[in-house]
Amino acid sequence: MEEVLKIIPEIQEYILSDGKMFVLSTDFHEFFWTLVIMIGLVTGTSVTFARILYRNMKERSRLLNMSPQMVQVQKIFFRAICIQTSMPILILILPISYLAISMFSGYFNQAANNLCFIITAFHGLLSTAIMITAHSPKIANYQELKNICEVYFKLIIQNLVPFFESEIRFDDAQKKLLSDSFLVPFELLDGAFRSADFELYQIPNGDFVDVNKLDTFYQDSEENSANRISDDVTKVLGPYWKLNQKILWKHLKEVNLDLSEFLFLVSVVFWDFGILNLTEECASFCHEMRSKVFQELPEYENNTQKSKDQCLRIGELILALQTLQKALGIMFECRDIAMVYNLHGRECPLLK
């Protein structure tokens, strides 16, 4: 205690009457260099992460031949990531700078010390708030949805489809037939699964489509608003959006799928043995794979006990497949309608 009072005599008025206190160290150099190492690690990882992300995004933009709109979306995402990763440094720089100055100058101010530790304690809360603000989803338009679907399809082909194709023992033509037939049903199912907890349709990047405001969704800022193209397109395609919402989205929301059940449906959708032009051998193999998937479902439902009636739960999942088929029929009807009317490039991006 005498050594502490000798170094910081001003602390005497803050010591309790019994004089008992815990002193971590009387040498501030150890504490200071610990702060320096922490700041170095935080700064280094943040800068490294930002540089690697920028390099990968630039390379993917070149390889995937992205549209200018998609590049703009990536720039917005990169800007948000930079803000998020720089926040720990910006939030902690003030208290750490003050502590460094006070340690080397010998200046003591208990109120300033308390303020520094309060700011440090709020670091997690502030970082979370900034992350939510920087990555806040927005209402998308048809151009953004088109670009997102383009990238999303490529990601599915690169990452998900090979998982299933690794089981296929047939030629590339049969593999391509299965994968091509899988993309649109998967996106419909995945979109409905993503949107089950929302009133709006959530697209893969986290933004939303408001089905009740499709005239805004189909607007193009570069077009003359007097053309009323968005209103005409909404009249043609609006009913199909709402039908899809009532049939597939609503059903998945009621069924309340968990992730394993969703993946079960995905597997069943991929191993579709009723696709045209499948060879008899390939169709038989798909039927066999579907049977294996169905055999595992009762055991899973029994273990999770999500529903008191296991048979009823399995029936709900089978019904989800039927509603997916109905939604797919709506999509193809939407495609046929788009061929009749001039929708000015606002056709459904899933069926291009």
The Cα–Cα gap between 133 and 144 comes to 20
Q: For residue 186, what pLDDT is reported? A: 93
pLDDT digits (tens, 9 = 90+) for 237-276: 888 888 888 888 888 888 888 889 999 999 999 999 989 8
pLDDT digits (tens, 9 = 90+) for 295-326: 988 888 888 876 678 888 888 899 999 999 99
The Cα–Cα gap between 5 and 113 comes to 17
Provide the pairing of β-strand 208-209 with 201-202.
antiparallel
The Cα–Cα gap between 320 and 249 comes to 10
Q: How confident is the model at residue 284 (pLDDT cuts 50, 70, 90)?
A: very high
Whether residue 4 is predicted with pLDDT greater than 70 in this model: the reply is no
Q: For residue 72, what pLDDT is reported? A: 64
Whether residue 65 is predicted with pLDDT greater than 60 in this model: the reply is no
Give Cα 167 distance to the centre of its chain. 28
CATH 1.10.565.10: which residues of the chain? 142-351
The Cα–Cα gap between 278 and 268 comes to 16
Q: Name the more confident of 289 and 92.
A: 289
pLDDT digits (tens, 9 = 90+) for 133-181: 766 667 788 888 888 888 888 889 888 999 998 888 888 888 889 998 9
Q: For residue 324, what pLDDT is reported? A: 92
Q: Which of 223-232, 238-247, 275-284 has the lowest mean pLDDT?
A: 223-232
Instruction: Report the top-level CATH class of 142-351.
Output: mainly alpha
Closest to 278 measured CA to CA, from 186, 182, 158: 182
pTM of the model: 0.65
